[in-house]
Every structure is written in C-alpha cells, then in structure tokens.
A and B are shown apart, each in its own frame.
Chain A
Amino acid sequence: MANFFTDNEDIRFLFGHLDLAEIATVQEDHFVHADANALDGAPLDAGDALDNYRRILSIVGDVAANHVAPRADAVDEEGNTLNPDGTVTLGEKVRQNLKVLAQAELMGFTLPRKYGGLNCPNVIYTMANEIISRADASLMNLFGLQGIAETINAFADEQIKNQYLPDFARGLLTGAMVLTEPDAGSDLQAVSLRAWQDSDGQWRLTGVKRFITNGCGEILLTLARSEPQSRDGRGLSLFLAERSARIRVRHLEEKLGIHGSPTCELVYDDAPAKLIGERQRGLVPYVMSLMNGARVGIAAQSLGIAEAAFRVARRYAQTRKQFGVAIEKLPAVAEMVTDMKIAIEAARALTYETSRVCDLENNNLRILETNPPSDAEELKRRKGDARVWKRLAGMLTPMSKYYASEMCVKVASDAIQVLGGSGYMKDYPAERHLRDARITTIYEGTSQLQIVAAVRGVCSGAFEKAVDAYEQFQVNDEPLSALRQKLTEGKQLVLKAVQFVKDRGPDYMDLHGRRLVDSAIAVMVGHLFVKQATASQRKRAVARRFIETQLSAVRRDVDLVLSGDRSPLDDYVTLAGAAPTA
C-alpha cells in the first residue's frame, strides 16, 4: 500500500537522525506516567515512544496516500458552499477527509493524553503536517489548526479545557484563529472588533473579521479589543466564541488555490464569548504563541507542497523524451531537478530543527510552570535554558516559515518549467501545486515580515550563538572538514555584514534584511547538512553541492550589504517611477 511516510526517504532519515529520544524523554517527563501493567498508551521508555511516533506517522502516511491524495483534484474542483443563512457546507470530499482523520485519531495530535490526545512533540506533528500537505495542501489548513486546541490547553482555565479539548481530540470540533480584520492584517495591533460585557457580566463580541481560514468552524478563538480606550496590542484580549446564529459567514473568498480550505468573512452580532486567560494578554503572549506554532505549520505545509510538485517533475524528467533522450539528461533540466531536491531537503532540515528547538523550549517552560524544580541550581539552569531557547526559537521560526515558503513557490514553479507546456495544463497536478503554493509566502505573516523578525535574531547574537553550537559538533573527516571551513568563512562574512548594518540603523537593516537572513540560513543549513552527512553517503553529496552553491550566493549578498546602497529608500520615486493614476 502506498504510504507518504514510508516512501519518503528523507523524512525517514531525519526521523532516525534527529535526537528524538531526547525530545520524547522531556515530552513524557522521563516516562513517569508509564504503567507497564495497563499498557494504556503512555510510553514505557524512549524506544517505546519512538515506536509510537513511527507508527503514528505510518498512519498519517497511509491516510495521506490512500484517502486524501486520491481526492485532492476533486477537492480543488469542488470547493465549499456558503449557505444563505450564513453557514458554510464543506465539500463532500473535504468532509470525508475530516472523517478519516478523526477515525485515525489524529485530531488531538499534540494534546495531553488526559484530554484524549496523542501527546506527540511538535517535531512529529510537523512531519505529519508535511505528509498531509503533500496529499492535499488545503486539508492541512484544517488538520494544521490543532494549534487552536493547543492554545486553549496552554492558556485557558481548566473548565474550558475540559469542556472543549476532548471533542477536539475526537475530531468533533474544528476551530479557527480569528485575527485578521479589513484594517488589521499584518498589523494586528490595529484590531478593532469590540469585546464588551453585558449587564450580566457576559462577554460579547461585535464587529467584522476577514480572511478567516475555517471561520465556519465550531470554535472561534477571536482576538478582540476589550479595553475601549486603548489603541495598541495591550488593549486586546483573546476570546473563545462558539458558532451560533450571532456569528454569520458573510462572504466566502474565491481564491487562487487551497480551495478545500474555506476562507470566511465573519460578522459578530453581540456574540457571547468566553475570555481565555487574562485580559489584555490576547496579542502578547497568547496570539504570538499561537502564530509561532502556525508559522512552523506553514513551513511544513510548504515542504509538503514542494515534495508533491518535485515528485511530479522528477518522474516526468525521467520519462519524457526529447531529442532522443530523457529530458533529465539535458544539463539545464538536470540542474533544475537537483536544485529542487536539495532546496526541499534544506528547508526540511531547517524546519525540523526549528520544531525540535520549539519542543525543547515548550517542555522546559511547561516544567517551569507546572512543576518547578526545588533545587536552586536546577531552577537557575532551567531559567537560563528558557532564555536561550526563546531567542533561538524566536529566530528559527520566522526563518523556517520564510525559507520553506519561498522555496515552495520556487519549486512548484520550477516543476511546471520541467513539465513545460504540459505543466501549464490541468492534465497534471503541477499547476494545482503552484496555485496552492502561492499563499504560503503570504499568510501567517508575509515573507517580508518574517525577515523583519528573523533579521533581529541574526543581528543580535542568536545566529552567532547557534552557529557556535553547531561548530562544537565534531567532524573527523577530511572532505567534511573542508566544507566546515567554508561555513566558517560564511559565518565571518555574515558577521561582518551584521556589524556594517548595525552601524547604519534599522532602515538599512530592513532594506538588506533578506540578504542577511538568506546568508545566515545558508550557513546554518550548511551545518545541519554536514551533520547529516556524517550519517549518510548521499548527504555528503548534498552537503557539498549545497555549500558550494550557497557560499557564492553569500559572498554576493554580503557584497551588496557592504556596498551601503540604499537607493530604493533614498531614490524611491525616481526608481519606481510615478504611481499610475488609474
């Protein structure tokens, strides 16, 4: 039987290569919950936990390959329907997909077992998101919304958790993160949907939200202004509103891609809601935390779409003959195909590394919050770790989202290029993959915003610290040491550019942000590849090719940064020309 986990050599390689035993051990509190007699699902040890993870991913791979992928074309064709009463009927195939995911017990992926969840770490969930996205990118927008339940778990009170989380895990409820408004997109501080308390003290929500993925879901985590006098993010709180007649879907967007995912405009008509956590903490930290998880989710979705597109192109390049040979024998095509493959593996290495760091960070925070160590030394160490992980995750998360999504658009576009005219036609899924890919650089924060977040990590020491840590990894092998040497050169170039930028202020930093972030990522992924290369012959070739090509890009980018050119800012009107009047 086809299986999108077991047929993916790179995911399986990383499953064995990443230190999942370490993650499992912290995720399962050193296995204190294990009961060797009951054998109720709590893993007995790291081996047992990893066996569970592998089995769970095999189920995801089975569902993706045999249930979801065969329906993907029809889902794309069919879309969803807005009813006159302001409700939405999901397409039949979408509903079938959700049913299968619920049957497979995959809808409480990261929730604690006490709420019926699987208690999987983020890195496994990221793999699952990728595998589902390869089958149908739009289904990931529903499967990948489990961050909503996670947010409830992290910040809501026990009563709300008990009321909703078990039904999320059973797949009986789906949710939406309801943030964006017509005048509050990238700038969420401008959210204006009004939260107010009626005479009984019941919170009510009034206003409009736009571009809400699965806004027709049952549980709407809604960011709203609870402090009418405020202007900024400190006046926002997070609310849980259940779908009712007081929340109407006014409009269902017609989109370029991800047609299976309903994108809704919502009207709240004094809808009753419950406050999540504390007032005024809605944007920071609740929504920021939710969005960080969602960004890694989009990185995973990007990987899945790119993987699907690559596989179409790889096969076509092998079977399509022109000039008497398979087109993969033509140098230009050969390079395009290998670049696609390496780009996917590079983004995957970075994204999984990010998930791994998030797991270490989240588990450390969970322990500090629920069961702080009594030993003063241990407490101090954990608090120190928390700061380190937070800074690292704060840089890696936007990096992954940016890097994987940009890669995805490029790979999906190149896949069509490999297929030529056939790729432009509906006969192959390549055009769907490109349409689905296009959103990934936009939602959950555009690439430009991810760069703004990431470049601050690059310029404030997080990059240097991360690379220092990678350099600690011992490589006793001549060719790999030579590659490491090049990465050291790359690091120094980046640090030189960083110093230059810092002397010129934030405008200049943001103008050259992309180049700084690209260069930093190239060095970091280079290190991840070198480490992978110690465990795989094939990865040696991948590491060599990646580092050779990327280092020349780093030199070029750093050159430009060091040029001091700021003409897009200083000569904007001259360069952009006059704005058209109509």
Chain B
Amino acid sequence: MAYDSIVCVKQVPDTANITGDAMKDDGTVNRSALPAIFNPDDLHALEAALQVRDRFGGTVTAITMGPLSACEVLRDCLYRGADRVILVNDRRAAASDTLATGYILAQAVRKIGNCDLIWAGRQAIDGDTAQVGPQMAEKLGIPQVTYFEALVDLSGRTIRVRRNVGNGYEVLEARLPILLTVLDSANETRPAAAKRVMRFKHARSAGEITNEVAANMPAASSAEKEAEAARLLEKLRAAGLRIEQWSLDDVAADLRRCGMSGSPTKVHRVQSIVLTKEGYTEIPPSEEGVGRMIHELVVDHTLG
C-alpha cells in the first residue's frame, strides 16, 4: 500500500555560525547577517518521508511558509527527491508566531487534500519552540507523535513508531493520518542527487519569475513584463519545473488568525548571556566529589 506524505520545512538563519551582528538591537535575529540554511531537523523529516515512499510507494510533498527566498529549501527538497513542492507566501503572513504559522500550514495541508503522513522536524534552530508541528496536528484534529526516531511498522491504516523520550524510548501505535516530528537521530539524510540538481535548479515560483523579469527587463512596460512572466511560467509548468505558490486566500485562511493579528506571542525580554568564567573545575572521581558537584548544581538551580 502506498502512502502520501507532506513534509513541513523551514528556511532558517544558520545559528551554528554566529557572527557579531547576528542579533539586532531589539534582541531579534538579524536574518540578513546569517546565511540561510535548511533547518537541520527538517532534513531528517524529509528523509523519513522519502524512506516511506521508497519502501511503500506514494508521494512526498514539501511545503514551507516564508519569503520567496525560501524557494531555496524547496529546490533542495526537489534535489533530494521530493515529488512536489509548495511555497505559502503572503505579506499578510509576516510576523506570524507559532500559533498563526501552525494555523496557516494546517490550512495548506487541507488544501493539498488526502495525505497519510505529515512530517516536521523536531524544532527549528531559530526559535527552538518545537510548537508548529504539534499545533498543526491539533488544528487538523489528527494524532501526533513527537520525537520520532524510527518506523517500527506501517501496514494498512496503522502505524507503529519508536519515540525517544530522553532517557529511553516508547513504541506507540496510531491510526493514519498522523503528524510526526522527527529527531536528527532518526536517520542519515540522503545528499542532493546530481542529476536532479541539474534539472531542478531551474525550478522557480511565480514570485521569483516576476522578480527575475523585472531585473532583466528594467525598461519594459508592466504589460510586457507580465506577458514575459506568463510565458516563462508556462514553459516551466510544461517542463514540470514550476514551484507552486499559494497565498493566504489560496489556502482559505481567516486573515484574523494570520500574521500580527493572529499572533498572541509577545517577546517579554531578551537576555544576552555572556559567559565570563573560563577554564574548568576538576571534580575528584569519588563519591564525595560527585556529591559536592551535585550539591553545587542544585544550589545554583542548574539541576532541579
């Protein structure tokens, strides 16, 4: 039996390579100062979906919500084997918190229609909230398993998965459709495939084509530009290289639940932690030494 998957992916600033101007004065991330990358956990979500497809058949659709530049991660999904990719892009979605994002992506999943498995990375490295996946499942009214580490069994409409609970694991059984958030320990992600790269590097969304036409034909009238954009998009569609681009209207989203107005999260305060102490403390390898260390950690609230 074949299974259709949807994978939620995100383009994030590369917080592993922080430079001095990574944070703006207001404490938010300065996205322009950091290279944009594929959220690492999402690569493992994509791999999990591709493995299900390789084994059982079916399709893998990747979706992301973000600016046009997020098409880069969608192309990466195509390079690694995704069958279809969709960009949800709308100015009115800007400043969405996890609640609004979860809602919009759930609407996109509804529009895609039939699907058996929804995959997301455990969390994104820019916000580290791990909330969007679970919120989507709630809104879609389907079961969810977080911290997915292995597929134990999949037959008919029943899935059995292993879930890492930190100090051990549990095996859970659920009915499809289901949403799973995936850990980086779940699999080894496949690399981009060379021939797919040579082909899908040409894939573009409508918004990207509009921008490229504007850059290439600065003197043309807007009608000429529109005609050229339409021609290029038709060519891409015929070659199977068009990245679908949906607005909030396309996914029938209630605008009050999107963007700023749909986002109750308020950033109360941002603390800049600067580690001042250097070097290390030596703990004698004895009952007493370890006891003293635990005591110290409890006192300064590192533990407990």
- Rounded to whole angstroms, the CA-CA distance of A52 and B194 in the bound complex is 9
Interface centre among B37, B192, B193 (most CB of A within 10 A): B192
Q: Are B193 and A105 in contact (CB under 8 A)?
A: yes
Q: Are A59 and B197 in contact (CB under 8 A)?
A: yes
Interface centre among B194, B196, B235 (most CB of A within 10 A): B194
Q: Are B198 and A52 in contact (CB under 8 A)?
A: yes
Tell me the smallest distance from the CB of B14 to a CB of chain A, in Å. Answer: 9
B277 at the A interface (CB under 8 A): no
A429 at the B interface (CB under 8 A): no
Query: Interface digits, B177-196 against A, CB 8 Å rule (1 contact, 0 not)?
Result: 00000000000101111111
- Rounded to whole angstroms, the CA-CA distance of A67 and B196 in the bound complex is 19
Specify the chain A residue showing the minimal Cβ separation from B80. A103
A63: B residues at CB distance < 8 A: 191
A105: B residues at CB distance < 8 A: 193-196
A18 at the B interface (CB under 8 A): no
Q: Are B194 and A59 in contact (CB under 8 A)?
A: yes
- Rounded to whole angstroms, the CA-CA distance of A71 and B103 in the bound complex is 42
Q: Are B188 and A59 in contact (CB under 8 A)?
A: no
Given A1-B37, A39-B202, answer yes or no on A56-B197 (Cβ-Cβ < 8 Å).
yes
A window 444-501: CB within 8 A of B? none
B110 at the A interface (CB under 8 A): no
A100 at the B interface (CB under 8 A): yes
B238 at the A interface (CB under 8 A): yes
B239: A residues at CB distance < 8 A: 37-39
Tell me the smallest distance from the CB of B276 to a CB of chain A, in Å. Answer: 23
B118: A residues at CB distance < 8 A: none
A116: B residues at CB distance < 8 A: 195
A62 at the B interface (CB under 8 A): yes
- Rounded to whole angstroms, the CA-CA distance of A408 and B192 in the bound complex is 31
Q: Are A104 and B199 in contact (CB under 8 A)?
A: no
A96: B residues at CB distance < 8 A: 188
Interface size of B by Cβ–Cβ distance < 8 Å? 18
A67: B residues at CB distance < 8 A: 188, 191
Specify the chain B residue showing the minimal Cβ separation from A107. B194
Q: Which of A37, A40, A66, A106 contacts B194 (CB 8 A)?
A: A106
B229 at the A interface (CB under 8 A): no
Q: Which of A41, A62, A103, A106 contacts B198 (CB 8 A)?
A: A41
Query: Interface digits, A45-78 against B, CB 8 Å rule (1 contact, 0 not)?
Result: 0000001100110010011001100000000000
Q: Which of B194, B238, B241 contacts A118 (CB 8 A)?
A: B194
B window 152-209: CB within 8 A of A? 188, 190-199, 201-202
Given A37-B235, A38-B239, A96-B188, answer yes or no on A104-B201 (Cβ-Cβ < 8 Å).
no
Specify the chain B residue showing the minimal Cβ separation from A44. B202
Q: Are A39 and B241 in contact (CB under 8 A)?
A: yes
Q: Are A104 and B188 in contact (CB under 8 A)?
A: no
Given A37-B235, A39-B199, A39-B202, answer yes or no on A59-B192 (Cβ-Cβ < 8 Å).
yes
- Rounded to whole angstroms, the CA-CA distance of A205 and B113 in the bound complex is 60
- Rounded to whole angstroms, the CA-CA distance of A40 and B198 in the bound complex is 8
Q: Are B238 and A37 in contact (CB under 8 A)?
A: yes
- Rounded to whole angstroms, the CA-CA distance of A62 and B188 in the bound complex is 13
Specify the chain A residue showing the minimal Cβ separation from B38. A1
Q: Are A104 and B193 in contact (CB under 8 A)?
A: yes
Tell me the smallest distance from the CB of A54 to a CB of chain B, in Å. Answer: 10
Specify the chain B residue showing the minimal Cβ separation from A57. B194
B194: A residues at CB distance < 8 A: 55-56, 59, 104-106, 118
Interface centre among B188, B198, B201 (most CB of A within 10 A): B198
Specify the chain A residue showing the minimal Cβ separation from B81. A103
- Rounded to whole angstroms, the CA-CA distance of A43 and B201 in the bound complex is 12
Tell me the smallest distance from the CB of A393 to a CB of chain B, in Å. Answer: 27
Specify the chain B residue showing the minimal Cβ separation from A103. B190
What are 5 A-B pairs at a CB distance below 8 A?
A38-B239, A41-B199, A56-B194, A100-B190, A104-B194
Q: List B residues at the A interface (Cβ < 8 Å).
A: 37, 188, 190-199, 201-202, 235, 238-239, 241
In the A-B complex, list the 10 residue pairs whose CB atoms are closest, starting with the nearest.
A41-B198, A105-B194, A104-B191, A105-B193, A103-B190, A39-B202, A105-B195, A56-B194, A63-B191, A52-B198
Other A-B pairs, 11, CB within 8 Å; known A39-B202, A59-B193, A59-B197: A39-B199, A39-B239, A41-B195, A41-B199, A43-B198, A55-B198, A96-B188, A100-B188, A104-B190, A104-B193, A105-B195
